[in-house]
Amino acid sequence: MPFLQSNGEEMNQMFLMMLSHLLHLQNYLDPTSSLFSSDATSFSTSSTTSFSSLLNSSSAAPLLFFTIASVLSFVAGSRPSLSSSSPSSRSPSRSRSSSPSDHSLSAFRALSTELIWSMDAPVRDAQWRRSYGLSYPVFTTVVDKLKPHIAESNLSLPPDYAVAMVLSRLCHGLSSKTLAKRYSLDTYLVSKITNMVTRLLSTKLYPEFIKIPAGRRRLHETTQAFEELTSLPNMCGAIDSTPIRLCRLPTDVTDPSSYHCRSGFPAIQLQVVADHKKIFWDVCVKAPGSVDDATHFRDSALYNKLMSGDVVWDQVVNVRGHPVRPYIVGDWCFPLLSFLLTPFSGNNRGSPAQNAFDAALMKGRSAAVKAIELLKGRWKILQNLNVGLHHAPQTIVACCVLHNLCQIAREPEPEYFKEPEESGSTPRVLDIERSFYYYGENLRQTLADDLQRRLPSR
């Protein structure tokens, strides 16, 4: 209350000073007018006769209008600072309200700077996850890493405001129009800020948080974890693809049918490689929804690096006299290669050794499946992507970067978003892949026989 009283006294003094200046101006323009004294404090609002004469005065009417407009402008300009400092705007219950004013930038400022440190960490982080999809410490990490790049853009909003607004959109799948209403901003500005933040996440933070496990320690940890899960040695990742549903297609798309996936809705293909912790170490978004998994993989940078030998894993294990380098696993929709192993069959019609291998491989592949379901559950915008087609790939990759940040920080996992499993045919072998295919075929059978030999002893 003392704070409000001091603000009220200051407002009264400024109000009287403003009236005093206006009265001096009136006396200067109309010296014959005796309605106002030179002392503003002698003004009486109860004199209806004087008020009527003022309205009838041709010189005073514009002044009265200007006075009223000035007072209204002053009150409007003073209100945000008072409201943002009032106890009601700082209460947790109000910040969880659904009214648009509670999502304004001033409300976020009050929550993030005044209330946040007085809250217990579990309560604080739970509230932050509901609003922005991640805890407060992870949020500050994102802001600190993006702050230098946002500063270069000369954005009128502080970096934490911009990041919070974009995270709330990614977390809840809000449209730019809904978000503009909540934050009292122009829709175009919301879209511009969203595009800027997602572009920075997908370019500046991608190399730091999405990278192939080349280090010996990380690679050993990954292969050991997969071996404990599957009993297959030297597995370092699982690959899978998923369609990201598009809210709508632009009218100027030349071939709309190319974006319709096997499930029938317009989409963009997302391909990921995940480790045992459901952390992505490769992400590719290059193809519309109708493109099959094998074609999308062959068009990826990872495929070209592995085929050309740019990625070489030195960790080699010996299995029944065969050197086995690290490899990834996928379902039968991907090509069988020396660095990508797929099941013998999808219907359990192989030999006992082959069926056992297929079951173990699909256990490893489940890491990528669960990672995708967690990604879509955490960032709901990927369930129905409502951004422009040109900005869709960077938005998808930005969500993958944020997903990794959450997994590294061991954030609690929300409810998974499950979609129907899409089936496809086994791809044909390309001429440039034949040597890789034959080596992969031999490696797969070797691992199957070794697994069959070890199973009774386990």
Residues 135 and 191 in one domain: yes
Contact predicate 406/430, CB 8 Å: no
Residues 262 and 406 in one domain: yes
pLDDT at 40: 38
210, part of any domain: no
339, part of any domain: yes
CA gap 254, 265 in Å, rounded? 17
63, part of any domain: yes
Per-residue model confidence as pLDDT tens for the chain (458 residues): 444 444 444 555 555 555 555 555 555 444 444 433 434 333 334 444 443 443 444 444 444 544 554 554 444 444 443 333 333 333 333 333 444 344 555 556 555 555 666 678 888 888 889 989 999 999 999 999 999 999 888 887 788 889 999 999 999 999 999 988 887 888 998 999 999 999 999 999 999 999 999 888 999 999 999 999 999 999 999 999 999 999 999 888 889 999 999 989 999 999 999 999 999 999 999 999 999 999 999 999 999 999 998 887 889 999 988 999 999 999 999 999 999 999 998 777 889 999 999 999 999 999 999 999 999 999 999 999 999 999 999 999 999 999 999 999 999 999 999 987 777 788 999 999 999 999 999 999 999 999 998 876 54
CA gap 458, 121 in Å, rounded? 44
End position of a domain, from candidates 150, 182, 204: 204
pLDDT at 225: 97
344, part of any domain: yes
DSSP 8-state code for residue 421: P
Domain count for the chain, please give it.
3
pLDDT at 184: 81
Residues 453 and 340 in one domain: yes
pLDDT at 354: 95
End position of a domain, from candidates 29, 58, 84: 84
pLDDT at 228: 96
CA gap 100, 41 in Å, rounded? 40
Residues 221 and 367 in one domain: yes
CA gap 370, 280 in Å, rounded? 11
Look at phi and psi of residue 154 and say left if phi exceeds 0, alpha if psi is from -120 to 50, else beta.
Answer: left
Scanning 110-245, the segments in alpha helix (DSSP H) are 121-132, 136-152, 159-172, 176-183, 187-203, 206-209, 216-230
pLDDT at 3: 42
Q: Is 350 helix (H, G, I), strand (E, B) or coil?
A: coil
Residues 305 and 391 in one domain: yes
211, part of any domain: no
Contact predicate 301/281, CB 8 Å: no
Burial label for 31, CB within 10 Å (0-12, 13-18, 19+), is exposed
Domain span at residue 69 reads: 2-84
Q: Largest Cα–Cα distance of the chain, in whole Å?
A: 113
Q: Is 340 helix (H, G, I), strand (E, B) or coil?
A: strand
Residue with structure tokens 């572009």?
Answer: 199
209, part of any domain: no
433, part of any domain: yes
End position of a domain, from candidates 204, 237, 260: 204
314, part of any domain: yes
Residues 80 and 102 in one domain: no
Residues 286 and 415 in one domain: yes
Residues 236 and 370 in one domain: yes
Cα angle 54-55-60, degrees, rounded to a multiple of 5: 60
Residues 376 and 244 in one domain: yes
Residues 335 and 450 in one domain: yes
Residues 195 and 257 in one domain: no
Residues 35 and 104 in one domain: no
